[in-house]
Amino acid sequence: MQPTGAHGTWPSPIDAALAASYDGRPEYVGTVGDEVWWTEPRPAEAGRRALVRRHADGTRTGVLPAPWNVRSRVIEYGGRPWAGAVRDEGGPLVVFVDFADQRLYAHEPDGPGEPRPLTPLSAVGGGLRWVDPEIHLGRGGHGEVWCVLEEFTGEGPTELRRVIAAVPLDGSAADDRSAVRELTDGRHRFVTGPRLSPDGRQAAWIAWDHPRMPWDGTEVMLADVADDGTLRHPRCLAGGPEESIPQIEWDADGQLLFASDRSGWWNLYRMDPGHDAVALCERAEEFAGPLWKIGLNWFRPLDNGLIATVHGSGTTTLGVLDPQTGELADVAGPWTEWADTLAVHGSRITGIAASPHSAYEVVELDTTTGRTRVIGSPHRDAVDPAHYPRPEARTFTGPGGREIHAHIYPPRNPDRTGPDGELPPYVVWAHGGPTGHAPLVLDLEIAYFTSRGIGIAEVNYGGSTGYGRAYRNRLREQWGVVDVEDCAAVAGALAAEGTADPRRLAIRGGSAGGWTSAASLTGTDVYACGTIIYPILDLTGWGTDETHDFESRYLESLVGPLAVVPDRYRDRSPVSRTAHLTTPFLLLQGLADPICPPIQCERFLAAVEGLGIPHAYLAFEGEGHGFRRADTMIRALEAELSLYGQTFGFDCPDVPRLELKR
């Protein structure tokens, strides 16, 4: 028999340092000739993103040493920050955005030189920023990079413009802004990078404007490419205010492929410009996702006419679609979540995938044999997998009989079990977004708690992606209502069925999840405590001038127009409801966060001053929206565990005691 121990006290080999070292995942996979490249997190190197190169012989090397950090800040969430090509004289050429100064650089990794800047600095506002590059070696004489330019015109976070631009590869624009050739006129607030047709005569891109978010409605723009490289006669080809198109690609025949939710689900379509679009595989599944970053992709056409596509409902898999027959063949393997990045080269498809038993790794499919193999960031068990949770995807019933999707991670430890009659504490995790999704994958932060005897319930509340547009739209003007109710319904159901201790329930979340956590603590009596991470706490402030441009009008769909429903902004805000707060909380914040700035936390702390509520506030220098540094993540995880120990009544001597003030 297993020894018993109070939930929360089970000895675990998964400490905060181990969890932090595995934080993050590979991103932005691409091919350069026969090689596969991608970016990887480096928590121990100040949280930088490294560019990794897998050579044709299977060896892997870093392309750039520290402190180079391949990461864009366009729309603050960034997007695809690099592109590569093979030069005519041989050898790879890569262009990339460095996070420190946001300049676009060119580098020949097989040559002797250092990266050289292609774009200038700017002293205005956030400067010049670049994202979603494509290299065109034959254009503009010495070659050009076509990408998105975000240019600040003033000091305010919304004083900016975005255009598609061509940057000369010869470096002539490194100190000369006028050498950057603008390809669009800035008529749209948001644009993605252009995709050139196979014959080079047309370019297509995606655009949208405030107050829409890209999962609300976007437009596909098409323009002719003149001999001088300018874009002529731009016109709208597809999309609109109530149709979200998050990705476009050209196939080898010069037809445009795109994902659209016009059916209620993001399905794939093909269009010969000037003709009607044809659905390629109509299913009640998602073949794309929310465009939180510029340049994400969920499908890629292969040279033989087939289409590689990530698809599913709730979980995702990689499939190969025959657009002529609609037949879809899925890859075999354990993976339950494929990330929003794919690359193709010849008969090979490369993506990034994870499962409940493995973290995200770079996976290659050979379509000629149907075989898959891991070619990068391979998962290695740092501890005995018996310490990992065994999650279950479940559907709960919420108010009005609506379905609520969630992933339940019960406590699990091979060396301990709970005492007879003691139900475990559970923490409800609310994901960010809120137009986001909690994937069913191995996460050592979750295992950090479950291996100690604390259960986790990740709730994909109404408004989450992965379940169709109607499910997403449940949150329209209902933020702070539906998300709070859905999380409470899952927590209540776990308690009612005898899975969780009803007296030891907590909630935690970051960003929009931080909002849901705070709104839950100030609006329900379900939870005994909560962890609130880089949150939104004051809708009125955040909806005026306290966030970045991309989300500056987001609340119009989530809450309603401020000028029309100002009372709703005030009444739903946790900062206005602190009189209802009775439980301890931990507040975690990055001091360099431009999306949910520290002023939100400071205002909330001032409102709880003198109420006698036990709480702690940890603020981290140099951290932005999403913690990336190992020391930050360690401190945050240990503080969270200490909060639960003090609230739920168990000892955790292996972590520093969190000092709670009243």
pLDDT-based confidence at 261, cuts 50/70/90? very high
Can you give the pLDDT at residue 453?
A: 98
Query: For 521-551, how does the pLDDT look when each residue is reduced to its tens digit (9 = 90+)?
Result: 999 999 999 999 999 999 999 999 899 999 9
111 phi and psi angles, rounded to 5 deg: -100, 180
Assess contact for 204 and 194: CB atoms under 8 A. yes
Assess contact for 297 and 342: CB atoms under 8 A. yes
Determine, yes or no, domain membership for 20: no
Q: Is the pLDDT of residue 317 over 90?
A: yes
User: Mean pLDDT across the stretch 308-337?
Assistant: 96
Can you give the pLDDT at residue 545?
A: 86
**Cα maximum dimension of the chain:** 78
pLDDT-based confidence at 88, cuts 50/70/90? confident
Report how far residue 552's alpha carbon sits from residue 542's, in angstroms, rounded to the nearest whole number.
Answer: 8
Q: Is the pLDDT of residue 185 over 90?
A: yes
H-run or E-run covering 632: helix 630-648
401 contacts: CB under 8 Å, gap ≥ 6: none
Query: For 114-157, how does the pLDDT look when each residue is reduced to its tens digit (9 = 90+)?
Result: 999 999 999 898 889 999 999 999 887 789 999 999 999 999 99
Determine, yes or no, domain membership for 224: no
Question: Domain containing 478 — which CATH number?
Answer: 3.40.50.1820
Determine, yes or no, domain membership for 62: no
Q: Is the pLDDT of residue 1 over 80?
A: no
Determine, yes or no, domain membership for 203: no
Strands 160-168 and 190-191, bridge-based pairing: unpaired
Determine, yes or no, domain membership for 153: no
User: Mean pLDDT across the stretch 99-107?
Assistant: 97
pTM of the model as a whole: 0.96
Can you give the pLDDT at residue 527?
A: 98
Q: Is the pLDDT of residue 249 over 90?
A: yes
Query: For 414-466, how does the pLDDT look when each residue is reduced to its tens digit (9 = 90+)?
Result: 999 999 999 999 999 999 999 999 999 999 999 999 999 999 999 999 999 99
Q: Is the dihedral of CA 498, 499, 504, 509 positive or negative?
A: negative
Can you give the pLDDT at residue 140?
A: 77
Name the packing angle between helices 482-496 and 512-523 (round to 10°).
70
Between vectors from CA 397 to CA 391 and to CA 403, what angle results, nearest 5°? 80
Can you give the pLDDT at residue 451?
A: 98
Determine, yes or no, domain membership for 600: yes
Can you give the pLDDT at residue 224?
A: 97
Can you give the pLDDT at residue 90?
A: 80
Query: For 387-405, how does the pLDDT look when each residue is reduced to its tens digit (9 = 90+)?
Result: 999 999 999 999 999 999 9
pLDDT-based confidence at 581, cuts 50/70/90? very high
Share the mean pLDDT of the chain: 96
Can you give the pLDDT at residue 319?
A: 97
Report how far residue 159's alpha carbon sits from residue 619's, in angstroms, rounded to the nearest whole number.
Answer: 28
Determine, yes or no, domain membership for 399: yes
Q: Structural domain tally of the chain? A: 1
Can you give the pLDDT at residue 274?
A: 78
Structural domain boundaries, residue 447: 384-648
Grouping H, G, I as helix, E, B as strand and the rest as coil, residue 466 is coil
Grouping H, G, I as helix, E, B as strand and the rest as coil, residue 181 is strand
Instruction: Decide: residue 594, CB within 10 A, 0-12 exposed, 13-18 middle, 19+ buried.
Output: middle
622 contacts: CB under 8 Å, gap ≥ 6: 46, 590, 591, 592, 629
Residue with token string 């159901």:
493
pLDDT-based confidence at 27, cuts 50/70/90? very high
Can you give the pLDDT at residue 273?
A: 84
Determine, yes or no, domain membership for 441: yes
| DSSP per residue, 194-236 | PEE-TTSSEEEEEEE-TT--TTT--EEEEEEE-TTS-EEEEEE
Query: For 328-368, how does the pLDDT look when each residue is reduced to its tens digit (9 = 90+)?
Result: 999 999 999 999 999 999 999 999 999 999 999 999 999 99
Extract the tokens encoding 391.
């999650």
Strands 505-511 and 426-430, bridge-based pairing: parallel
